[in-house]
Amino acid sequence: MSSGSNLTRAAEDKRPDIVLRPDLQVIAQWIAEGSKVLDLGCGEGELLAWLQTNKACSGYGGEIDHNNVLVCLAKGVNVIQTNIDAGLSLFSMNQFDVVVLSQALQATHETEMVLKEMRQLGKRCIVSIPNFGHWSHIVSLAKGLMPVNKRLPYQWYDTPNHHFATTQDFERLLAKLGFSIDQHAYLAEDRDGKVFEVRRWPNLRCTLALYSFQ
C-alpha cells in the first residue's frame, strides 16, 4: 500500500452517503473488482455497500447486533445475524474470494478458531486490529492505568474487548497458524486527526494495523 492520498481515494465513490473510515478505505483498495466478499462483524454494512456500488462485488455480512442488521438491509446489503464466536457454519456452503474482519477480532472469545474458520471460507483474509503496543498505551500503563482513549474508549471493567494485542503479537499468531501475510498497513493519526501510514517503528507508532493473509 502506498501512503498519503491513497487513503482518500476510496472515499471518492458513486455513493456520497457512504463514508468509509480509514481502515475500511484501505481494505476496499485491497479487494479486487467483482470479488465475492464475506464481511464479519460488518456493523452497518458500509464496506459491503461501497464495494457493491463501486467494485461490483457481491457477498454477505455477518453481524450480531439486531439494529445494525436492520440498517444493512435498508442499504441493500445481504446480512445474516450471527455470533462469530459460535462458529461460521452458516457460511460453510459458500467459498468467498475475501473474508474481512475489521476491528472486531479483539472482541472474540475463540480467536484462533475464528481465524482458522475465516481461512477455510476464503481464498484470502483481511483483518484490522487496534494496536495495544502504541506508545500512549505504554505511558498510561506506566502511570498504573489501563489506556482509555477514542480508539479504546471503555474502562477496564466495562469493555467488550477480551484480547489486546500488539502488531508483533498478532503477526506471531498468524505465523503460528501457518498463515502467510501478503499485504499489511500500519495507520496512525496526527494531532489534526488526519490518518497517515506509519513506515518506521509501527509497533510503537501505529494505532491500527491491517493484514491480508492466505
* pLDDT of 54 higher than 70: yes
* Region 190-213 average pLDDT: 90
Which is higher by pLDDT, 152 or 30?
30
Beta-bridge partner residues of 195 = 189
Please name which of 59, 22, 16, 10 lies closest in space to residue 189, comparing C-alpha atoms. 22
Architecture of 6-213 per CATH? Answer: 3-Layer(aba) Sandwich (3.40)
* Region 19-31 average pLDDT: 93
d(CA 156, CA 180): 33
Which is higher by pLDDT, 191 or 102?
102
The pTM of the full predicted model, rounded to 2 decimals, is 0.86
* pLDDT of 1 higher than 60: no
Residue 129 cell numbers, joined: 486490529
* pLDDT of 6 higher than 50: no
Beta-bridge partner residues of 128 = 102, 210
* pLDDT given for residue 23 in this prediction: 92
Residue 44's pLDDT band, with cuts at 50, 70 and 90, is very high
Strand 79-81 and strand 122-130: pairing? unpaired
* pLDDT given for residue 9 in this prediction: 46
* pLDDT of 168 higher than 80: yes
Domains of the chain, by residue range, sit at 6-213
d(CA 62, CA 43): 8
Model pLDDT for residues 128-158, shown as the tens digit of each residue: 999 998 888 788 878 888 877 777 777 777 7
Please name which of 99, 118, 96 lies closest in space to residue 36, comparing C-alpha atoms. 96
* pLDDT given for residue 198 in this prediction: 93
Using DSSP's 3-state secondary structure scheme, residue 128 falls into strand
Model pLDDT for residues 77-90, shown as the tens digit of each residue: 999 999 998 889 88
Please name which of 204, 213, 10, 182 lies closest in space to residue 101, comparing C-alpha atoms. 213
d(CA 39, CA 100): 5
